[in-house]
A and B are shown apart, each in its own frame.
Chain A
Amino acid sequence: MVHWTAEEKQLITSIWSKVNVEECGAEALARLLIVYPWTQRFFSSFGNLSSPTAIIGNPKVRAHGRKVLSSFGEAVKNLDNIKNTYAKLSELHCEKLHVDPENFRLLGDILIIVLAAHFARDFTPACQFAWQKLVSVVAHALARKYH
Chain B
Amino acid sequence: MVLSAADKTNVKGIFSKIGGHAEEYGAETLERMFITYPQTKTYFPHFDLQHGSAQIKAHGKKVAAALVEAVNHIDDIAGALSKLSDLHAQKLRVDPVNFRFLGHCFLVVVAIHHPAALTPEVHASLDKFMCAVGTVLTAKYR
- A132 CA / B100 CA spacing, docked (Å): 14
Q: A100-122 toward B: CB 8 Å interface, digit per residue (1/0)?
A: 00000000010011101111110
- Does any Cβ of B come within 8 Å of A129's Cβ? yes
Name B's interface SS: helix
Determine the interface band of chain A, counting residues with CB < 8 A from chain B: 20 to 34
What is the bound-complex CA distance between A109 and B31, given in angstroms?
17
The reply to whether B108 and A116 contact each other, CB–CB distance below 8 Å, is yes
- A111: shortest Cβ distance to chain B, in Å? 11
Contact status A132-B112, CB under 8 Å = no
* A residues 22-81 touching B (CB-CB < 8 Å): 30-31, 34-35, 52, 55-56
Judged by a CB distance under 8 angstroms, whether B115 is at the interface is: yes
| Contact mask for chain B residues 92-114; partner A; CB cutoff 8 A; 1 contact, 0 none | 00000000000010011101110
**CB-CB < 8 A to B118: which residues of A?**
113, 117
**Cβ of B120: which chain A residues have Cβ within 8 Å of it?**
30-31, 34-35, 52, 55-56
Which of A31, A123, A125 contacts B123 (CB under 8 A)?
A: A31
Residue positions of B touching A, CB distance < 8 A: 31-32, 35-36, 51, 104, 107-109, 111-113, 115, 118-121, 123-124, 127
Show 21 A/B contacts (Cβ-Cβ < 8 Å), sorted by A: A31-B120, A31-B123, A34-B121, A34-B124, A35-B123, A52-B124, A109-B104, A113-B104, A113-B123, A116-B108, A116-B115, A117-B112, A117-B118, A118-B115, A120-B113, A121-B112, A123-B108, A125-B35, A125-B36, A128-B36, A129-B35
Using a CB–CB cutoff of 8 Å, the interface residues on chain A facing chain B are 30-31, 34-35, 52, 55-56, 109, 112-114, 116-121, 123, 125-126, 128-129, 132
